[in-house]
Chains A and B, each alone.
Chain A
Amino acid sequence: MARYRKSNINPKRFDRSQIKIILIILPLALFMLLPIVFIFSHAFKPMDELFAYPPRFFVARPALDNFYKLFKTTSTSAVPIGRYVFNTLMVTLVVVIGSVLISTFAAFALSKLRFRGKFTLMEINNAALMFVPVSVMIPRYLIINALGLIDTYLALILPVLAMPVCLFLIKQFTDQVPDSLIEAAYIEGASDFKVYQKIVLPLIKPAVATGAILSFQQVWGDIMSSAYYISNETLRTLPFFMNTLTSISNTIAGQGMAAAAGLIMFVPNLLLFIILQSNVMNTMAHSGLK
């Protein structure tokens, strides 16, 4: 049955009935590809093309100048670049895993367990969702300062762990998990945690993946928290370093390096997404969610 269904959804052979769909999808897909093409072509543009007027979208004579310049500048910095890479990787890993765990826990409880105040909690989360993140910057700093977390990794990790968007998305998906499945598990003697681990988590995989991507994005490109909570250069993250590189050196030379840095910062995003999407989207058709 499962195999039949899979072949039904993803046909191996090309069929004439697919032509009209592809005719609509393909041009739009080209537009969707524009920003990525732009990042790549921008990074390989030599100096004169970067400032050409009118600005050109595609690179005419690709060159590696920008990357050479970038690596030359990084090698002169006081802290080796490996340190920044390590910091970023560690912080990102902890935040993505932590925030997904926290959000799925909370979503499971808020959606499927009964206790007092759960609707209030959800309302609070929704209210926090609407709020502009910029405005809590200063109170957040004061709290981190009061807790003595300035100049630690925790200052980079803790503030972003509870992501309202993540919880909101995952909770809405958890609501769709049928209660009968969970009840069946309880009757078989499963504990709450077992139900969470064996039933809810596999069923909400797409939401988990989306949440993971969103939280990854938030941490990966985060310049603010490195700038405000950390004054020790060895604890700062890669995006902050890239940002300083391109703004310290004069702006004209910085442009090329910024383009190259942008590409370097973008590639992990791309890889993560491709890995996650192939894992997640294909399992969805077979889940028991109806």
Chain B
Amino acid sequence: MNLKKELRLKHIILSLLSSALLLSFLGLLMQVKTNTYKTVGDIFLNLNMQTATANAVTSVVTFFRGIDTVGEVTVLFLATSGVALMLSSTQRTSKKVVKQESFVLHVGSRLLMSVIILFGVYIVIHGHLSPGGGFQGGVVIATAFLLLFLANPNMSLSHGILTLGESLSGSAYVLVALIGLFKMNILLGNFLPHPVGEIGELVSGGIIPVIYILVGIKVGSEMSVIVEYFIKEDYYKEVYDA
């Protein structure tokens, strides 16, 4: 690559201009006075006892701003489908590289995988008690599959099960929202009993742990699908080029 051609005068001017803008932006931010209002965050902290969950962040994410989470799950789902739509067209050669994985890698990755999945499930289920939750736990579960792919590129996931997990958990989430509408006339209303006395126990908080488990299944299966698509894409392209 020719460096001289890449570094033109206009690029230098442009970068100088944007750094000047960034500096003035930061200078403006430095002068910002702290606000005089109580932020929504403080009010939510005070309201947290109502939801009977030990983790205040979880009650904000899944309950107070629950529709945002439905939206975020949808964004992730749309992104996965977009990746699938774009990558499914690549020409796939039937020729497969038969690469024998080493024994140590085989055993090691499988041993580690079960531990990682267990850890992910723990994070999902304890989302309303300790830091973490559906999104974080779901990603941890997906890393277990990433490990398997790195150890053995010939492996493939069962798409039926992944699609089932993805579709059913997402639809169940929306159904939970709609049941709230029918029972309490509020979408996503907490229609399950959530006595404050049970705070800190595994079964507490009404619909909040249910939602987080559904989110965990959805995120886990979607991230695994994305990982598989990208890894297989790279793999097939290498084969195709060679």
A and B pair up: no
